[in-house]
Amino acid sequence: MKVDPARAGKLSAWVWRRLLQRLPILFLALHCGVSHAHKPSDSYLSLSPQGNQIAVRWDIALRDLDNELGLDADDDGQLTWGEVRSRQGDIDAFALPKLRIASNKTACPVVRSASGGDQVLHELDHHSDGTYLVLQYAVSCAAPVNGLDIEYRLFAQSDPTHRGILRILSPTVPGAVSATAVLDPENATRHFDLVAPSVLATLRDFVTEGIWHIWLGFDHVLFLLSLLLPAVLVRSKSAAASHWLGVQSMRTAMLDILKTVTAFTVAHSITLTLAVLDLVSLPSRLVESGIALTVLLASANNLRPVLRERRWAAAFLFGLIHGFGFAAALKDLGLSSQAMAVSLFGFNLGVELGQLAIVAVFVPFAFLARNTRSYQFGVFKVGSVMVACIAAFWFVERAFDLDLTRFGA
């Protein structure tokens, strides 16, 4: 079956016009939902079985608890330990029922204190992406633990993108990890056998986490799209006027995309590995504001090209910064060397698969519409301006540690 290029171009132009009508909605969604940080919502859960008891350490981001429970009593944008401590009961009542642990089909309840309440200790800890509240307690099972059923539903109603990063320590080998997993609303209940860790299960979980991380990391997505937008265009060499023209063939576009995406992949893989292995460490604030700046510069280059034929070089340089951002999802896990290697490989593979999915969806439509005004002006130019504005907003917030969404509220 042959496709009429003219008809396909008209269809693609219609698609782009429909997307342009919805750009303001996209702008508001990005402004409201992802202006504060690129890292999706995660909590970190560590279980240490010993006999018939399990020690639980649960790190939950204060920003997530504040969004859910309104912990900031004076609404000044700064959470104090006093504000958190005064709401410990509310936090426990909200969080503890969202995590259910069972062994041999029998629930393992939280160990009670002498006064009859849940025996939970609270403290603060600093992760790469901010301050977390640490809940430490123990659950008691009816018999020695050799398998666990975990039900995890924290923020399931309010934030479907939230993930629980789980590790279960070996009950027999000190310091060894029996299992790791990523818990989310679609995989809320999981069973774990603690006899032998499953490398394939760990790999699968972190491939999935890597895919979702790139898809939900809106600054990474906008950076990638900023690099892809001009891939189907070529700058005219006319002395009279300089403007963009559609490339002659898909092969030309794909060669440009291959160089750019490969450079980005190699670069962020290098720094992701270095950061996760703690060989190189940069402050989170520097990384986050740096990522926003890369998005701003990539979109600005579309409007006033400085790098035309060498966008791959910019993709490599900027990709080094994005790698440190990707590492934030794994750096706080404290996995054993074997689990770290598998998790790192799986996560990086997932990021690449997520990138390829974005390329596969975007490029065919862009190629078909490359010669239309809807694409060259509406998508390429207007889209680049909007991405630059969003990135500038992110940069100011992150570099100067501001919350601009509170202004005028």
In the numeric block, the tokens 């940080």 are attached to 37
H runs (alpha helix) in 38-129: 62-69, 81-85, 88-95
- pLDDT tens for 293-321 read 999 999 999 998 887 678 899 999 999 99
Each residue's pLDDT tens digit, 351-403: 999 999 999 999 999 999 999 999 999 999 999 999 999 999 999 988 987 76
Closest C-alpha to 256, from 302, 321, 310, 320: 310
**Distance (Å, whole) CA 174 – CA 228:** 48
Sequence-distant (≥ 6) Cβ neighbours of residue 43 within 8 angstroms: 58, 59, 60, 61, 64, 132, 154, 162, 163, 164, 165
Residues 240-256 have pLDDT tens digits of 456 788 999 999 999 99
Cβ atoms of 371 and 9 within 8 Å: the answer is yes
The stretch 28-39 carries a mean pLDDT of: 44
Task: Evaluate if residue 155 carries a pLDDT over 60.
Answer: yes
What's the Cα-to-Cα distance from 181 to each of 30, 168, 184, 294, rounded to whole Å?
29, 9, 10, 32
How confident is the model over 255-289, as pLDDT tens digits?
999 999 999 999 999 999 999 888 998 988 899 99
Residue 196, sorted as left (phi over 0), alpha (psi -120 to 50) or beta, turns out to be: beta
pLDDT band for position 146 (cuts 50, 70, 90)? confident
pLDDT tens-digit profile of 48-94? 999 899 999 999 999 999 999 999 988 887 889 999 999 999 999 99
pTM of the model: 0.73
